[in-house]
Structure 1
Amino acid sequence: MRRYILRRVGQAVPLLLFISIISFALIKLAPGDPVLSFVTPNMGAEDIERIRQNLGLDKPMYVQYLLWLKNVLSGDLGYSIVNHRPVMDQLLERLPATVGLMGTGLVLSIIIAIPISMYAGSHKNRFFDRILSLFSYIGISIPSFWFGIMLIYFFALKLHWLPSMGMRTIGSDSILDIMKHGILPVTVLLFMNVSVYMRYIRSNTISQLEEDYVQIQYAYGSTTGTVLRRHVLKNVLLPVITILGMSLPELIAGAFITESVFSWPGMGSLGITAVHGLDYPIIMGITMFSSIMLVVGNLVADILYGVVDPRIKTMR
């Protein structure tokens, strides 16, 4: 196992390097000039060029990338072009808000999706299964920003039950206040995630119930509930593990649209602000954090495959 992990880490290094090159190039080739945000009507061409030199934007693109890479390898993600604060400090400030929001949404989505999807799969084409399928199609089709705006309109503006934006009420630091602010954005994440997860889990449950080992258990007198809990669940967990591995980057990058709609002070809203200001150090920091988490997520998923199904470990 240790050799396998070391091999995967070694394979991830060139992948991360490739991702950084492509991301850096795309940011630099994007239309716009971050220097323009500092320009005032009284500035001349020499003043603008001096700003460009101070920001290090006068050098060729490959030189800028090599300087950035050198700093990253030494543990320095650089400084924001817009507010001149260290990138690492800003990421660490926003990280708890994003992890709290995305982690809650992810855990609740899995807890809700697994039992109802397995029940729907075991009652294929019945009333409950058809209702869940309709719910899933609606959840996949509706844009998250529209759903978030509708929740704000009804529950915040009309009913005044919940706050419409932000993470805290001014002057309040209670956990209950944070939970109230998180209900609407978590609801958006739940609606979208559960709709997607149900498709995978339901279809896998249906396919597993058609396997011979399930029919043998029925022949031994096992009930449907017993078969689902003791036998089908283990095989259904495999796609869930894949989903969890692919979802780990979201714990870092956050949900850009959801955080923007609800003004949630996380990594997603920070990334949107950075994109608008062409703040490439922030964008690169979030991109690399997400890429590392994707590699870690895939590695964790592979390890968990062997835990859930020992046959995968022997075939590796």
Structure 2
Amino acid sequence: MRQLIAKRLIQTIPLLFFVSIVCFALIKAAPGDPVLSFVTPNMHAEDIERVRANLGLDKPAYVQYGLWLKELLKGNLGYSLVNHQPVAALILERLPATAGLMGCAILLAVILAIPLGLIAGAFHNKWVDKLITFLSYIGISVPLFWLAILLIYLFAIKLHWLPSMGMRTVGVNSAADVIKHGILPVSVLAFSFLSSYVRYVRSSTIGQLREDYVQIQYAYGSSRWIVLFRHVLKHVLLPIITLLGMSLAELVTGAIVTETVFSWPGIGSLGMTAVRGMDYPIIMGITLFSALLLIIGNLLADVLYGFADPRIKSSR
């Protein structure tokens, strides 16, 4: 297991290097000029070029990337072209809001997906299975921004039950207020995760119910629910581990659309602001951070697989 972890960590370095090159190339190929956000009607051409030189944008793209990589090796992600603040500080400042939002959404989705998927798989091709599958397809197909706007219109504008945007009410500093603001965005994200998780659990449940150990349990007189939640559940958790590992990167970037709609002060809204302003140091920082979390998530999934499935642990 230690050799596996060490090998995966070593592989992280060239992978992050490749991700940084692709991201930097895409940023440079995108239309727009970040200098335009500093231009005023009274500025002369010489002043514009001076601003470009101060930002380091007058050099060739490969030179800019080399300078950025040099600072990265020193542990410096650079400074925002718009906010003039360290990129690492901006990401860490917004990280708790996004991590809390996405963490609650993923946790809620997993808690609901396991029993729903087990029930759908146990009643394969019955009306319960068709209903759950139909709702899952709706969750996968419906755009998140449309669902978010619909919930805002219903619960915030019409019923006045929940706030429509923001993370806190002005002048109110309490956990209950944060929870109240987070109900709508968490519900939107949880519905999206729930739809995909249910399909994986359902598919795994259908396959497990065909195994010999299930028939043996029925022969011993076990009921359907005991077989499902005591025996099948252990094997169904394996694909959930993989999904959770892949979802770790979405703790940073998965709420971009939702945070923008609900004005949630997280990394997603920071990334959207950076894209609109061509603030490439922030874009690069968020992209690398997300890639690192994805690699760590896959590594944790492999490690948890070894503990959850003794066959994998013994083969390793």
TM-score (norm 2): 0.98
Letter in 1 for 2:111: I
Q: How does 1:183-194 map to 2 (within 5 A)?
A: 183-194=183-194
For residues 83 and 299 of structure 2, the distance between their equivalents in structure 1, rounded to whole angstroms, comes to 36
Q: Matched residue of 2:114: which SS?
A: helix
Look up the match of 2:209. 209
Whole-Å separation in 2 of the counterparts to 1:101 and 1:23: 26
Q: Which whole-Å CA distance do the structure 1 matches of 2:114 and 2:295 have between them?
A: 25
CA distance in 2: counterparts of 1:252 and 1:6, whole angstroms: 25
CA RMSD after TM alignment: 0.9
Name 2:91's counterpart in structure 1: 91
Q: Deviations over 1:12-47 (max 9, x none)?
A: 111110001110111111111000111111111111
Report how far residue 235 of structure 1 moved.
1.1
The corresponding residue for 1:138 is: 138
Looking at structure 2, the residues matched to 124 and 254 of structure 1 have their Cα atoms a distance apart, in angstroms, of: 31
Q: Which residue of 2 aligns with 1:245?
A: 245
| 1:252 Cα deviation after fit | 2.1
In 2, Cα distance between the equivalents of 1:254 and 1:238?
Answer: 22
Contact 1:35 1:48 in 2 (8 A): yes
Corresponding residue for residue 260 of structure 2: 260
Tell me the residue number matched to 1:280.
280
Match of 1:88, as an amino acid?
A: A
- 1:139-175 per-residue CA deviation (whole Å, 9 max, x = no partner) reads 1111110000000001101111100000000001100
SS in 2 for 1:189: helix
138-147 or 248-257: bigger deviation: 248-257
The one-letter amino acid of 2:56's match is G
**CA–CA distance in 2 between the matches of 1:165 and 1:128?**
36
Cα distance in 2 for residues equivalent to 1:254 and 1:207: 30
* Alignment gaps of 5+ in structure 1: none
Would you say the 8 A contact 1:254–1:266 is kept in 2? no
CA deviations over 1:262-314 (Å, ceiling 9, x no partner): 00000000000000000000000100100000000000000011111011122
Q: Which amino acid aligns with 2:97?
A: A
The one-character-per-residue Cα deviations of 1:201-243 (angstroms, maximum 9, x if unpaired) are: 0011011101112112211222212212232111111110111
Runs of 4+ with deviation above 4 angstroms: none
1:122 maps to what in 2? 122
**Hey, what's the Cα distance between the residues in 2 that align with 1:118 and 1:196?**
14
Secondary structure of residue in 2 paired with 1:172? coil
Q: Distance in 2 between matches of 1:252 and 1:33?
A: 26
Give the counterpart letter for 1:82 in structure 2.
Answer: V
For residues 88 and 145 of structure 1, what CA distance do their matches in structure 2 show?
28
Q: How many pairs align?
A: 316
Match of 1:57 in 2: 57
Partner in structure 2 of residue 69 of structure 1: 69
User: For residues 23 and 130 of structure 2, what CA distance do their matches in structure 1 show?
Assistant: 43
* Matched residue, 2:173: 173
Hey, what does 2:155 align to over in structure 1? 155
Match of 1:13 in 2: 13
Q: In terms of mean alpha carbon deviation, does 119-128 or 161-170 score higher?
A: 119-128
Give distance in 2, aligned partners of 1:314 and 1:59.
55
Q: 2:81 corresponds to which letter in structure 1?
A: I
For 1:2 and 1:207, the matched residues in 2 are separated by 32
Corresponding residue of 1:195: 195
1:315 to partner: Cα distance: 2.8
Q: Tell me the alpha carbon deviations over residues 103-127 of structure 1, each in whole angstroms, 9 at most, x when there is no partner.
A: 0001111011001110121111222
Distance 2:60 2:259 in 1: 35
- Does the aligned pair in 2 maintain the 1:253–1:289 contact within 8 Å? no
Partners of 1:315 and 1:106 in 2: CA distance: 31
Q: Distance between the aligned counterparts of 1:162 and 1:229, measured in 2?
A: 36
Matches of 1:230 and 1:306, distance apart in 2: 20
Moved more, 112-121 or 148-157: 112-121
User: In the TM superposition, what whole-angstrom CA distance separates every residue of 1:163-204 from its partner, at most 9, and x where no partner exists?
Assistant: 000000000110000000000001101111111111110011
Amino acid at match of 2:126: R
Question: Which segments of 5 or more consecutive residues in structure 2 lack a partner in the other structure?
Answer: none
Deviation at 1:2, TM superposition (A): 1.2
